[in-house]
Structure formats: C-alpha cells, structure tokens
Amino acid sequence: MNKQILLLLLVVNTFCTQYIVYGQGKKSEIATHESIRLETDKIFERLVQIRRDFHENPELAGKEKRTQEIIKKYLLDLGLQVETDIYGYGVVGILEGAKKGKKIAWRAEMDALPNDFPDKSDFKSKVKGVQHGCGHDIHMAIAIGIAEVLAKNKKSLHGTVYFIFQPEEETFAGAKKITENEIFSKFKPDEIYGLHVTALPVGQIMVKPNEMFAYQKEIRIQFKNTLSAEEVKELTVKIRNSLVRSKNGSKPWEIQSITDPKIGLTNPNTIFKDYLIAEENFRAYSKNDVFRIDAEVYETDAARLKNIIPTIEQVMKDNNYASHLLSIMYIKENPTVLNDPNLTRSSINTLDNIYGKGFVTPDYGQVPYFNDDFAYFQQKIPGVYFLLGGSNFEKGIIAMNHAPNFEVDEECIRTGVRTFSSLLFQKGK
C-alpha cells in the first residue's frame, strides 16, 4: 500500500467517523426535542389546571404563601432540591442533570394585582380585589412544566437548572432582594432566562438584544403653591407636551399598536423604536406651601435621559414660572430589562435550529408603560427576557397585561413549556 493511498484512506476514515459522530449527535438531539414535545403535550392539560388554580387563588406581592406551598410540593414531587430561604415567599427548585454543564436559571413571578375587573372565565378569582391580571399564573404553570419536562430528560440533561419562583415583582422588590441574598451568590448561575406573556398573537415568541422596554422614570416637580388652578392646568399641559417625542407624529402611547404589522414591534420601522412619552394623567396635588406634580415618563434612548429635567426647567423658564420652581427630581428610577446581545443571538439561533428558521420573531421596538424587575438579575448575570404571545384575536382574547379585559389563550402554556425546555436543555451544554 503506498503512502498516498494510506493518507487518503486515513482522511476518508476520519471524515466518516466525524460524520457518523455528528450524525448521531444530531439524531439524539432531534430525539430529545421530540421527547420534549411529547412530554409537553402529555402534561399540558394538567398545567392548565394548575394555572387555573393559581388564577382562582391569587395573592398580592408579599403574600404569596399558598402559591409558595403549591410550587414547593410540585417541585419536591418531581425530585428537585428545593430552597425557600431566598427572599419572602420565593422558591428555588434545583435540577441536576446527569451530565456536566453550565448553571442555567429560569425565572417566573408569583404575585397578582390589586384589581377587581369583571372576569368572564369559569375560574374567576375567589379573592375579592385580587386578580392575576399580569399573567404570572401562566408564568408559574410554564416554569412548573419546564421543570417537569427537563426532570424527565434528566439523564441526557447537561448542567444544573435553577427554577427561581420570584415573589413581589409588581412592587419591583423581589428580584433585587433575591440577588442580594447570600444563597443567590452561592448558586451563581451562569445565565438567566425568563419570559412575559403579552398581547402578541398566541404562541409568538419575540425577543431583541438590549432594551426590551423604554426606560421608566417617575418625576416629581415641586413649586410654590402660588399658582391658580387654571395656571397649573396650563403648565401641566405644556410640560406634558415638552415630554413627547415620536417618529413622524406617530402615537407610541397607543400601546395596542404593538401588534400592528405596519407600525408594531415586528416592523423594522416600528414607531416603538425612538420616542419619549409622558403618561396622560399627571398627579397634581398641594402639600402645605408646596404644589407637586408627579408623572411617569418613558424614554427609549438611554443617552437622552439626561435631557428630561432640563427640558422641564426650560418650560418653567419660558412661561415665566422659573421663580416659582422649587425642585425637579426623580422619585422612581428603575433599571430596565437589558438582554445580553450575545446570549440573545445564540438563543435565537438555537431555537431556529430546532424549530425552523424564523421560529423566533425579531422585535424591533421597546414596549412603553411596562418594565420588569428581571432587570436586577441581568445586572448580576447575563440573561435574556422573551415576550410570549397570549392573545387570540379571533376568539376576542387580548392578553394586554394589567388591562381590565386581560385574558390569556392557554395554548401559550404549551408553546412556552416546549420552547423553553428545548432552550434550557441546549443552554446547559
């Protein structure tokens, strides 16, 4: 046998071995995601029942006692290690895969809202004045579902998955407190993921790198209580108008437009890309000799945040009220959800590889009015926050969070469990 042929045979042999190994890897990967799909379908009805139980028994921020007990029992039954000494009524379920890998966290919120809106469902809230109007009941059902699906695939699972059930999201306290807790530094996940169900079409998954929402700030303007009611009204309108910037006269405050294909989040020229808006209702009230105006503003561009206070000062000056002005300050400055660009891109690629190109819908805008304390986790570890569609327009179901008619198509639980079980499975490697 001459040397060249030997070399050729060696090359062919190496190539074939690699091809076979790659082929088998791909094959076992397909089998895993098929098993995730089947397992999700098997538990779907049960997850719907779990969600409805949470929906009927909502608990406000700081009071998630029953919710905690139910989650804890479920995770223990799945064989997960459970920690509750994390903050408030929080629960962390720890699932160890049989194979070596990364430490990945998944976050789901637990609290409900102080609402009393009419609810046409058969599983209405049994607690007067408290409702799951943000969809956290859906998030918990999805997280429980992912825990179950991944627990059943434990033998092929790489790394450790931490299921963080977080209390007190609506008050923006829970995530911050958890990240400050010693136990969190002990877990020290490498990456964190989470989602929010919202008014997009059911099952649609949307994400973008960096800011998912506009920066949310609450300003307090204080001036001497010497202006007439008419003057205050006029001044308020002027301040509000000075705090509006939108593309070509568009109306980014009309949040229902986020799903509009021409101007909504999926369009690269969306009106939700570059704006500054102030909420409609300024809260104006007097206290002793001081008149206060409190207002929430939403700015998409971090670099322009520094212009907000000087803009208001200018309005006061232009209208000869400068001598009445006492102070302008921020009374709320929450961090905003910032998706790690590399992890966002790799997550989109992973999901598109498993479920087909275009499975994840690109998001080009920043949603106004909303924010999530998931931002605190992202300050500590890189993470990605997804939006999951829960609306079914044909059925008249619109999952606009906090709105009086908020309703969710429960099919999104199936999409959420299947998709993110696959993602976390791949991310652990």
Residues in the site for Zn ion, rule: CB under 5 A? 134
* Number of neighbouring beta carbons within 10 Å of residue 58: 26
* Amino acid symbol at 165: F
Question: Whole-number minimum distance, CB 111 to Zn ion, in Å?
Answer: 8
* Nearest distance in Å: CB 371, Zn ion: 9
3 state SS of 299:
strand
Q: Tally DSSP H helices, then E strands, for the chain.
A: 10, 15
Shorter beta-carbon distance to Zn ion: residue 195 or 232: 195
The smaller minimum CB distance to Zn ion, of residues 244 and 403, is found at: 403
Q: CB–CB of 364/273 below 8 Å?
A: yes
| Cβ count within 10 A of residue 38 | 12
Least distance in angstroms from the C-beta of 170 to Zn ion:
5
> Going by C-beta distance under 8 Å and a sequence separation of 6 or more, which residues neighbour residue 30?
none
Residue whose Cβ sits closest to Zn ion: 134
User: Is residue 103 left, alpha or beta, with left meaning phi > 0 and alpha meaning psi from -120 to 50?
Assistant: beta
Nearer to Zn ion, 134 or 146 (CB): 134
Shortest distance, CB of residue 259 to Zn ion, whole angstroms? 18
Task: Report the SS3 class of residue 394.
Answer: helix
Compute and round to an integer the Cα radius of gyration of the chain.
25
Closest separation in Å from C-beta 169 to Zn ion: 6
Q: How far is the CB of 286 from Zn ion (least distance, A)?
A: 31
Sheet containing 383-391, strands listed edge to edge, beginning at the edge strand earlier in sequence? 81-83, 91-96, 158-166, 99-109, 191-201, 383-391, 205-207, 360-362
CA nearest 361: which of 372, 345, 348, 370?
A: 348
Closer of 134 and 235 to Zn ion (Cβ) = 134
User: Among residues 134 and 255, whose Cβ is nearest to Zn ion?
Assistant: 134
Rounded distance between C-alpha atoms, residue 294 and residue 322, angstroms:
18
CB of 261 to Zn ion, least distance (A): 25
Backbone angles phi, psi at 115, to 5 degrees: -115, 160
Bridge partners of residue 232, in order along the sequence: none
Kindly state the smallest distance separating residue 209's Cβ from Zn ion, in Å: 21
Closer residue to Zn ion, CB minimum distance, 134 or 295: 134
